[in-house]
Amino acid sequence: MNVASHLEKIERLEALRARLDPIADFELWFWAGMTAGTHAVNAALHCAGVTDASDAYATQPGVYLVPAASGQLEPQFRPLGDVLHVGRPRVEGPVPDDIAVMMRHMENVEHYRDPCVREGVAPTGQDVHACDAAVRACVGLLAMRVSGGADAR
């Protein structure tokens, strides 16, 4: 995806999160935050020139849906454009420090996925705070990079 599309999706996901109750709607709130943070990482990687920012949509590592002449989306093997989750696939090559911090924030968010979403452990206010702080930090670092405030490599 391109940077503008990532930014638009982050905005819509953040608006959704604001309408949800983080405890009562934890799963939806969590996935919206994790997805927003992943979009932030992808946009930052594109801004830094680490990954390709074309109009291709990741379906699984290395496979993207790309617009065809017919107007349909067709699968294609392509070099890394968007990560699906931090670490999947692994980003080869140098990653700027601010983006590495963003990735660590998203790894912190993912720490809550299995227990609170897949294993039925009830999320606590502390869990919500940790996830929210990590997503906000990630999106904030993206804003700095997009505005030119982060060192680009």
Q: DSSP letter string over 70-96?
A: TSSEEEEE-S----SBTTBSPPPS---
pLDDT value for 150: 63
pLDDT at 127 over 70: yes
For a pLDDT cut of 90, what percent of the chain falls above it? Answer: 63
Higher pLDDT pick, 147 / 139: 139
Question: In this predicted model, what pLDDT tens digit does every residue of 61-82 receive, in sequence order?
Answer: 888 899 999 999 999 998 888 8
- Surface-to-core class of residue 117, CB atoms within 10 Å of its CB (0-12 exposed, 13-18 middle, 19+ buried): middle
Let me know: does 42 contact 82? Beta carbons within 8 Å: yes
The model carries a pTM of: 0.90
Average pLDDT, the chain: 91
